[in-house]
Amino acid sequence: MNVREKLFFMALAVIILAYSAHELVIHLRPKPPSPQEIGLEWLRQEYKIPDEAYGKIARLHQDYFLRCDEMCATMKRAHRPLIQRSRNPTSREQKSAALSREKAVCENCLDNMVQHLRTVAALMPPAEGERFLADILPEVINPPELQKLRSQVTPLQ
């Protein structure tokens, strides 16, 4: 083997070793917490939730986020016809009907969220559950998106 071949194989070995070390570090390092995990930990600390209740709340949140993803997809599907119709002129009644459907989907999502928050609050110590609802519900009860839809929907005659 000549010097060039030796240098080539040494460089190749260094590259393979560096890549392997990189992959090993990536797979062995601790995974950063998800936004949901960060939120749950904040909830636990802020509202002094006991371990047993925290476990139940964590499971409820996991189930809720799956439903939430489904509701978001439904809202996107409900909104898509409005985007397409804005490019193509349609009658006022069609636009109003589409807005009404989107508003209904949004209100359903909001109802599910409020019910979830009330269920979570019921699992907390009573005083903390009341404080939780007082802190959270005003922020979610009347979202700007729903206000906008309510103002755009005109009753059909």
Q: Per-residue pLDDT for the chain (157 aa), expressed as one digit of tens each? A: 789 999 999 999 999 999 999 999 888 888 888 888 899 999 999 999 999 999 999 999 988 988 888 888 877 777 665 555 555 556 677 777 777 777 788 788 888 889 999 999 999 999 999 999 999 888 887 766 666 766 666 554 4
Question: d(Cα 60, Cα 43) in Å, to the nearest integer?
Answer: 13
Angle at 10 between CA 8 and CA 12, to 5 degrees: 70
Packed helices 92-123 and 126-140: angle between N→C axes, nearest 10 degrees: 160
pLDDT for the residue 149: 64
Tokens 């359903």 sit at which residue?
A: 108
Q: Where are the domains of the chain?
A: 1-30, 34-152
pLDDT for the residue 90: 61
User: Is residue 132 classed exposed, middle or buried when 0-12, 13-18 and 19+ CB atoms within 10 A define those classes?
Assistant: buried
CB distance 149 to 110 below 8 Å = no
pLDDT for the residue 108: 85
Q: Which CATH class is domain 34-152?
A: mainly alpha
Count other C-beta atoms under 10 Å from residue 112's C-beta.
Answer: 14
